[in-house]
Amino acid sequence: MLRDLSTVLLELQQGLQSAAGHGMRITRAETTLPVDVALVLKDDGCALLADVARNVADAAWFESPSRLTLHWAEMPTEWMS
């Protein structure tokens, strides 16, 4: 079942944070995942729905499945003078 892309991204970020919660600090991470995507009409507008393919068979029938590449990096929240 496809969900709002923002929900998928939030879950991926939370997974990364929970992996780092065991005394490890992650300052940069990158991943590329196969995803299913669809643009749908929703609430008088368009929404981008997506989800990570659950297994190889989910995306195997596509000649070239969609890929989502994420770059997570630590950034300062304040400007230094």
Reduce the DSSP state of residue 55 to 3 states and report it.
coil
Q: Which residues of 33-60 are buried (b: 16+ CB within 10 A; e: fewer)?
A: bbbbeeeeeeeeeeeebbbebeeeeebe
Cα radius of gyration (the chain)? 16
pTM of the predicted model over 0.85: no
pLDDT in tens, 2-17: 899 999 999 988 888 8
> How confident is residue 25, by pLDDT bands cut at 50, 70 and 90?
confident
Helix (H) or strand (E) holding 81: none
Q: Where are the domains of the chain?
A: 3-73
pLDDT in tens, 31-76: 888 888 889 998 889 999 998 876 666 555 555 678 889 998 888 7
